Chains A and B, each alone.
Chain A
């Protein structure tokens, strides 16, 4: 891992710590206060705060997870080198696509 990857992983960890807390707190609040799916969509539709928050969340996860997974795979398997890096870029792209697709789906619902 080079210093830039290391810094990216630590920096995104800080963002994720904050984002996961807000995400969980909001979910608990929404389910405890008896909001229906319809009520939730009314609040999230066209809500730019919602979209920006989840876009940041998704991007942080898409940077953080592949760097960690790369280290785990390097340590626990014999998979090293270029092909691993390319696979991790692919994994990151997948997280971005799936995550943003979900966030947009709720934003546009």
Chain B
């Protein structure tokens, strides 16, 4: 054992890693940094190390560091990921890590994007609970086995990280498209028996910005770090909106 490996958290063979980081805003360039990769170092740790030890002007965002807050997402070697739960060694290709800000959102600076449009669409999709005029006079009894409850459970653990939104080509093609996260949230609420705003919600998720524009190509589901399936939630919204359209005609 070398002296280095005896230090806790230091890799047996600290590997040299080249980290190419996007600097600037919409226009900018990659800047390369060299670091010695330590064992179990996450991509977020790598960014933090660069910022603390090499360039204090590097901007990025994080809070919890344990996969709960959803603020640390970036594009790592071309794929959107939650960086606090992604080990650098697992995703580096030929000892290179290329870090870019999330796609489909305005870049504030370096690796930090403006999440406002993402949350604005969350509101547009009525991704909030509507208690109605006379909010539940009694407790709603919802069994964990009810189909609606299961549907809601399947999508409710979203951490708003924006990974799916960054992965969705339809968002790139149609900037009005509400996107997988907002539609996934709307679907959890469609399955909430207490919610009183279903008509307005189903209207909000229809139309050219809504669920019918989804191509079901599954990028969101592939990349969601919480292994949710927005594609399936969106399919549920398609069924629900069509069911309602047919009932109205019938």
Given A71-B213, A75-B174; A3-B244 close (CB under 8 Å): yes
Distance between Cα atoms of A71 and B210 in the complex (Å): 13
Whether B174 and A7, one on each chain, are in contact in the complex, defined by CB atoms closer than 8 angstroms, is: no
Q: Is the interface of B mostly helix, strand, loop or mixed?
A: helix
Distance between Cα atoms of A74 and B207 in the complex (Å): 13
Judge whether B238 is part of the interface by a CB distance below 8 angstroms: yes
Whether A3 and B213, one on each chain, are in contact in the complex, defined by CB atoms closer than 8 angstroms, is: no
Whether B245 and A1, one on each chain, are in contact in the complex, defined by CB atoms closer than 8 angstroms, is: no
* Chain A residues with CB under 8 A of B246: 7
* Chain B residues with CB under 8 A of A2: 206-207, 212, 245
**How far is the CB of A29 from the nearest CB of chain B, in Å?**
35
**How far is the CB of B250 from the nearest CB of chain A, in Å?**
13
Q: Is the interface of A mostly helix, strand, loop or mixed?
A: helix
Judge whether A76 is part of the interface by a CB distance below 8 angstroms: yes
* Chain B residues with CB under 8 A of A102: none
**How far is the CB of A71 from the nearest CB of chain B, in Å?**
7
- Interface size for A (C-beta < 8 A) is 11
Whether B173 and A76, one on each chain, are in contact in the complex, defined by CB atoms closer than 8 angstroms, is: yes
Judge whether A5 is part of the interface by a CB distance below 8 angstroms: yes
A-B contact pairs, 10 of them (CB 8 A): A1-B207, A2-B207, A3-B212, A3-B244, A5-B212, A6-B212, A7-B245, A7-B246, A74-B174, A75-B173
Interface residues in chain B, defined as those with a beta carbon under 8 Å from any beta carbon in chain A: 170, 173-174, 206-208, 212-213, 238, 241-242, 244-246
Sample of 11 more A-B contacts, CB < 8 Å, known A3-B206, A4-B245, A76-B173: A2-B212, A3-B238, A3-B244, A3-B245, A5-B212, A6-B212, A6-B238, A7-B242, A71-B213, A75-B173, A75-B174
A-B pairs, top 10 by smallest CB distance, nearest first, are A75-B173, A3-B245, A1-B212, A6-B212, A3-B241, A3-B242, A7-B242, A3-B206, A2-B206, A2-B207
